[in-house]
Homo-oligomer: A and B are copies of this chain.
Amino acid sequence: MSNSAPLDPIVVSESPEEKFREFLEIRGEKLTEPRRILIRHIFDSHKHFDADELVADLREAGRRVSRSTVYRTLRLLVEAGLLRELRLTNRSAYEHDYGYPSHDHLHCTECNTIVEFRNEEIQKLREAISQEHGFRSSGHRFVISGVCPTCSRARSPRRRLDLI
């Protein structure tokens, strides 16, 4: 799995862990060992993941955190504004929010890959449309679904051979 982010990270003064501790402190909650393991692991690499992959990933790295705690912590991290949740399939996917610029997604329906992109227009559209309808908007999701270049190339030629 890749460690590189497709978009340049935003410069932030606090580490994700510090920001999480602060969030928990305000609510009178605690930064425990399992939570520390999770936030470090999650922000160690930049990628999209779901709860199951996270559990498997941690197990592989020799760090055991129970599935329940993973789910509970993911919810906290979303509430804290550190992660964003994407509901593209039956299982939720997560991505970094904190320290990462706002962006939208291309979703390949063949291989399930998620590609990020940044487009200034979308923010403006969101604002204009919200205002038009009297909404106080708090966020948006713009997902373009289709077939990525890799899957396009992989499938079209195979089709040809089938016809021979």
**Residue ranges of A at the interface with B (Cβ–Cβ < 8 Å):** 87-88, 106, 108-109, 115, 117, 119, 121-122, 125-126, 129-130, 132-149, 152
Contacts and interface: CB of A to CB of B under 8 A. Distances in A.
Contacts of A138: 109, 145-147
Contact of A125 (B109, B122, B140): B122
Contacts of A117: 129, 132-133
B147 A136 contact: yes
A106 B133 contact: yes
Contacts of A126: 144
Given A119-B129, A134-B152, A140-B144, 20 more contacts: A87-B88, A106-B130, A108-B135, A109-B138, A115-B135, A122-B125, A122-B142, A129-B144, A133-B148, A134-B149, A135-B144, A135-B147, A135-B148, A136-B146, A137-B146, A138-B146, A138-B147, A140-B142, A140-B145, A142-B143
